[in-house]
Structure 1
Amino acid sequence: MSTNKKILITGADGFIGSHLTEELIRQGYDVRAFIYYNSFNSWGWLDQSTSEIKQSLDVFAGDIRDPHGVKEAMKGCTHVLNLAALIAIPYSYHSPDTYVDTNIKGTLNVVQAARELGIEKVVHTSTSEVYGTAQFVPIDENHPLQGQSPYSATKIAADQMALSFYRSFDTPLSIIRPFNTYGPRQSARAVIPTIIGQLAVGNTTIKLGAISPTRDFNYVKDTVNGFISVMNSEKSIGEVINIGSNYEVSIGETAEMIADIMNVDLTIETDEQRLRPDKSEVERLWAANQKAKDLLGWVPSYGGKDGFRRGLEETIEWFTNPQNLASYKTDVYNI
């Protein structure tokens, strides 16, 4: 496919960002990967990409908190997909300041530069955490926003910052709001890799936080396709769009399903340090995804119970590969 789009992906070194970067290159797009500068010259998960993908990459090492670097990275680009963010909820309890700088100021840097450079389209990444515990289900885009953690509060602010530029300056912008994405490369601080990782090293008793909350898990391939659909849609400008599977499942049921696929008899122990403060725990998430279907024609390929099981099987296959598992410290709780 030939395209005149030049796409900057911030957070390209992360879990979703690396999958998105690779898929866009496979589809023939010209991609610049904005990665977090570090002295190891690590490209994060992109270090594991094939040599063909690496050769096609234009890598920019910088920091989303630095307005000059962000603008420099965006020069010559037509589209910006902003995935750079701090996302670990427990870490936001003791270092909220870094979340304000990265999530809110980082977003401001992107939309400010987009306005000044005349970028054709910005896709800003939100999260289902902005909804807090469901007040009604399934959760559509009109559901109230509730900052139940410092992380969630900064993402609400980032979304509003982005939308304010659309409303104030007509900056062509869309907000994609993925529900809980899972799949290969996800951080071990997330629940599905935590379960798989503990079982993969031979534990049958695993440590988890609360197991009654429900989530709407979204396989990473579906999330990536959601990003590409939003980027390419004229109808998405000025809109907030949920990307979710429309299937609700509890953490406990998820653990049982993973144990079943891995053929393990499972015992779950509650680990106090993994519990969120009561009023901060999001008890229920279940996505309405009709808007994505209507506006973008996006439908999850891994929806429903069968789709979830298929996504888990692919995720388990990746995590149980010894080479991949070696990247994780399965015996250490990662906030």
Structure 2
Amino acid sequence: MRILVTGGAGFIGGHLTEAFVAEGNDVTVLDNFEPFYDLGIKRRTVERCRAVAADSEGSYELIEGDVRDSDLVSDLVCDAEAVVHQAAQAGVRTSVDEPREVTDINLGGLVNVLESAARSETRRVILASSSSVYGKPQSLPYTEEHQTEPVSPYGVTKLAGEHYARVYNELHGLPTVCLRYFTVYGPRMRPNMAISNFVSRCYNGEPPVIYGDGSQTRDFTYVDDIVDANRSLLATDAADGGVLNVGSSDNISIRELAVAVRDQLAPELDIVYEEPRQADAEHTHASVEKAQEAIGYEPSRSIEEGVREFIDWYDENREWYEPLVRSS
């Protein structure tokens, strides 16, 4: 299959690209290499994908460009049988500081993809959405029918993107599916996320820092599970026109997470608490029953298992990954 992965040099997009190429697909990646975090991580991802392509029947092509370039997007989408749209300006707090830029990228780029796909013979468009669309919980775990009241501009753009996808499905018959990711982590993850920061600080004798009182809870999802959900959707129309939660179906408090990392790596350290950050959600917890029924989705790891696995990976890759984390 010919697959276009936007944002394919990033954390999630890179893992998707690697898996698709390994399975023998011809993958084109579009990425603008925005220095939201150290680009050394993206360069490692590109190297990894090229190495996988060399050892498989698939192919890998990297195009450096922006999803806001409508002509470029049109050319790439028209050559693809499926589009996996991961490109976005990430970061809840970034969206508070730069809402216009985040809206331009997250919605302007998405409309370019949908417009191009609607005019082509694209068989499926899979869009990365986010648990940020839910906002304040009325009940947990979140089902897809839970009310959506995002508390950040980032969440607003993701919710608006879901509506765009639904409208293009209804108006043009474009097969679209939106996946609501719940805090994804794993190898090559962004260095400004809680897990990577906790691990980095503990390895270097510095106490983990929690923003707020640590009672906030998160449903952390291992990146391999995100890959499995996307892979399944390439082969079925069972969820076309809809949205699916992709999470671990479990959650953990930020304090429990910090303590678990600290106790494994540096039990002598104290936990440090600082003022909470604006627009952070208090709680996330996914119901994945709909994804289980539609695509047979099953989380592969508990949060505790996944964190231990990430720590092992981190330890093996400290030489190149840790300086990037430490500089964030």
- TM-score normalised by structure 2 residue count: 0.91
CA 1:168 to 1:25, structure 2 compared with 1: closer, same or farther past 3 Å?
same
The whole-number CA distance in structure 2 between the counterparts of 1:285 and 1:82 is 23
The structural deviation recorded for 1:199 is: 1.1
Deviation by residue 1:264-321 (Cα, 9 ceiling, x = unmatched): 333221233xx223xx33111110000111010110111xxxx222211121122233
Matched, 1:20 2:23: no
Q: Which residue of 2 aligns with 1:317?
A: 312
Task: Pick one of 184, 187, 190 that aligns with 1:187.
Answer: 190
CA 1:70 to 1:194, structure 2 compared with 1: closer, same or farther past 3 Å?
same
Q: Which residue of 2 aligns with 1:97?
A: 100
The structural deviation recorded for 1:263 is: 4.6
Matched, 1:29 2:58: no
The structural deviation recorded for 1:41 is: 10
The whole-number CA distance in structure 1 between the counterparts of 2:208 and 2:325 is 14
- 3-state SS of the aligned residue for 1:57? strand
CA 1:264 to 1:328, structure 2 compared with 1: closer, same or farther past 3 Å?
farther
The structural deviation recorded for 1:162 is: 1.5
Q: Which residue of 1 aligns with 2:299?
A: 300
8 Å Cα contact 2:21-2:52 kept in structure 1: yes
The structural deviation recorded for 1:21 is: 0.6
The whole-number CA distance in structure 2 between the counterparts of 1:44 and 1:161 is 32
- 3-state SS of the aligned residue for 1:226? helix
Q: Which residue of 2 aligns with 1:144?
A: 147
8 Å Cα contact 1:115-1:171 kept in structure 2: yes
Once structures 1 and 2 are overlaid, which stretch shifts more, 206-215 or 61-70?
Answer: 206-215
The within-5 A match list for 1:186-265 is 186-203=189-206, 205-210=207-212, 211-265=214-268
- 3-state SS of the aligned residue for 1:196? helix
Deviation by residue 1:228-287 (Cα, 9 ceiling, x = unmatched): 112222111111011111102111111111123325333221233xx223xx33111110
- 3-state SS of the aligned residue for 2:178? strand
Q: Which residue of 1 aligns with 2:290?
A: 291
CA 1:327 to 1:237, structure 2 compared with 1: closer, same or farther past 3 Å?
farther
The structural deviation recorded for 1:45 is: 4.2
Extract unaligned runs of 5+ from structure 1.
none
The structural deviation recorded for 1:170 is: 1.1
Letter in 1 for 2:313: W
CA 1:100 to 1:137, structure 2 compared with 1: closer, same or farther past 3 Å?
same
- 3-state SS of the aligned residue for 2:209? strand
State the percentage of identical aligned residues: 29
Matched, 1:6 2:2: yes
The structural deviation recorded for 1:327 is: 4.4
8 Å Cα contact 1:133-1:285 kept in structure 2: no
Q: Which residue of 2 aligns with 1:276?
A: 277
The whole-number CA distance in structure 2 between the counterparts of 1:194 and 1:72 is 39
When the two chains are superposed, the root-mean-square deviation of aligned CA atoms in Å is 2.0
Letter in 2 for 1:86: Q
The structural deviation recorded for 1:190 is: 1.1
- 3-state SS of the aligned residue for 2:238? helix
The whole-number CA distance in structure 1 between the counterparts of 2:255 and 2:39 is 39
State the number of aligned residues. 319
Deviation by residue 1:76-104 (Cα, 9 ceiling, x = unmatched): 21000000011111111111111111111
- 3-state SS of the aligned residue for 2:284? coil
- 3-state SS of the aligned residue for 2:180? strand
CA 1:89 to 1:44, structure 2 compared with 1: closer, same or farther past 3 Å?
farther
The whole-number CA distance in structure 2 between the counterparts of 1:188 and 1:197 is 9
The structural deviation recorded for 1:48 is: 4.0
Q: Which residue of 2 aligns with 1:83?
A: 86
The whole-number CA distance in structure 1 between the counterparts of 2:17 and 2:81 is 15
Matched, 1:69 2:72: yes
Letter in 1 for 2:277: R
8 Å Cα contact 1:214-1:248 kept in structure 2: yes
8 Å Cα contact 1:175-1:239 kept in structure 2: yes
Deviation by residue 1:45-100 (Cα, 9 ceiling, x = unmatched): 42341653254311122101111111122232100000001111111111111111
Extract unaligned runs of 5+ from structure 2.
none
The whole-number CA distance in structure 2 between the counterparts of 1:25 and 1:106 is 24
- TM-score normalised by structure 1 residue count: 0.90
- 3-state SS of the aligned residue for 2:119? helix
- 3-state SS of the aligned residue for 2:245? strand
Once structures 1 and 2 are overlaid, which stretch shifts more, 178-187 or 122-131?
Answer: 178-187
The whole-number CA distance in structure 2 between the counterparts of 1:202 and 1:271 is 18
The whole-number CA distance in structure 2 between the counterparts of 1:198 and 1:37 is 26
- 3-state SS of the aligned residue for 1:32? strand
8 Å Cα contact 1:176-1:230 kept in structure 2: no
- 3-state SS of the aligned residue for 1:235? coil
The whole-number CA distance in structure 1 between the counterparts of 2:324 and 2:205 is 14
